[in-house]
């Protein structure tokens, strides 16, 4: 399974580019906005001046398909390693499938994003079969946020992609390190991870008794540092 870094902080992205554990990158307009990116194209091109050998996804942000197509082609022109994120629908619930198929047939590497169900993936697969390599991003973390177990959905998608070797599944929006374990166990191709999760990866496989003791030590040290006192 490949690990993609999910974020839009330039310094962090360039540092992770040198990390052999990081196989690629994903971004989105929300992450860019949070990172204070004001010039979308300028930021992307600046990052791409260094990130040249690993795949990176940038997302369109128009709600109109004609404009979305123009944006997608412009984004794709920025580099051979660029994938264009196209949401499964626009905000009016209109399917993006026709646009995805057109872009894919024209050689654009597409990352179909914002999907939460297996039926959405199944419906878009025919649109990707005649194009180059592509990704389908299923937001497992958001599925879990809705109180639904994402594992059956992700397993179903992994199974349906066995007949589509050029299309890889991205486990998007993970919420905890254990999601990395889950994704690997079901044969998911890629999982994205924010900086918060990447920082926790060294705890994978850690002895739980040791982890417990370190937790006790943390509480003790923090209480002492804060100067807490209870009169007894």
Q: Distance between CA atoms of 225 and 215, rounded to whole angstroms?
A: 15
Q: Which helix (H) or strand (E) covers residue 195, if one does?
A: helix 195-200
Q: Distance between CA atoms of 66 and 48, rounded to whole angstroms?
A: 26
b/e 114-145 (16+ beta carbons within 10 angstroms → b) = bbbebebbeebbebbeebeebbbbbbbbbbbe
Q: Return the DSSP state at 29.
A: H
Q: What is the token pair recorded at 41?
A: 């194209």
Decide if 2 is catalytic. Answer: no
Counting Cβ atoms within 10 Å, is residue 232 exposed (0-12), middle (13-18) or buried (19+)? Answer: exposed
- Write the CA distances from 57 to 3, 28, 202, 224, integer angstroms: 14, 8, 26, 45
The owner of tokens 């594992």 is 151
Q: Distance between CA atoms of 138 and 186, rounded to whole angstroms?
A: 14
The total number of residues written for the chain in this structure:
232
Q: Of residues 10, 70, 85, 93, which has the active-site annotation? A: 85
Q: What is the token pair recorded at 81?
A: 């390693």
Q: What is the token pair recorded at 149?
A: 């177990």
Catalytic residues: 85
């Amino acid at each position: 399974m490949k690990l993609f870094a999910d974020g839009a902080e330039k310094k962090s992205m360039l540092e992770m580019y040198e990390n052999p554990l990081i196989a690629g990158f994903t971004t989105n307009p929300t992450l860019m906005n949070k990172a204070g990116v004001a010039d979308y194209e300028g930021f992307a091109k600046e990052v791409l001046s260094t990130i040249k050998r690993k795949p990176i996804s940038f997302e369109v942000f128009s709600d109109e398909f004609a404009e979305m197509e123009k944006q997608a082609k412009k984004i794709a022109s920025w580099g051979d390693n660029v994938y264009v994120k196209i949401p499964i629908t626009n905000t009016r619930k209109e399917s993006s499938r026709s646009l995805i198929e057109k872009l894919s047939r024209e050689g654009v590497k597409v990352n179909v994003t914002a999907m939460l169900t297996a039926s959405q993936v199944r419906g878009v697969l025919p649109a990707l079969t005649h194009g180059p390599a592509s990704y389908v991003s299923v937001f497992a973390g958001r599925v879990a946020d809705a109180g639904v177990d994402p594992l059956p959905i992700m397993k179903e998608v992994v199974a349906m992609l066995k007949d589509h070797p050029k299309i890889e599944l991205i486990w998007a929006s993970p919420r905890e390190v254990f999601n990395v374990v889950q994704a690997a166990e079901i044969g998911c191709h890629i999982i994205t991870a924010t900086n918060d999760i990447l920082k926790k990866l060294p705890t994978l496989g850690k002895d739980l008794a040791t982890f417990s003791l370190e937790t006790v030590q943390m509480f003790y040290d923090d209480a002492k540092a804060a100067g807490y006192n209870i009169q007894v």
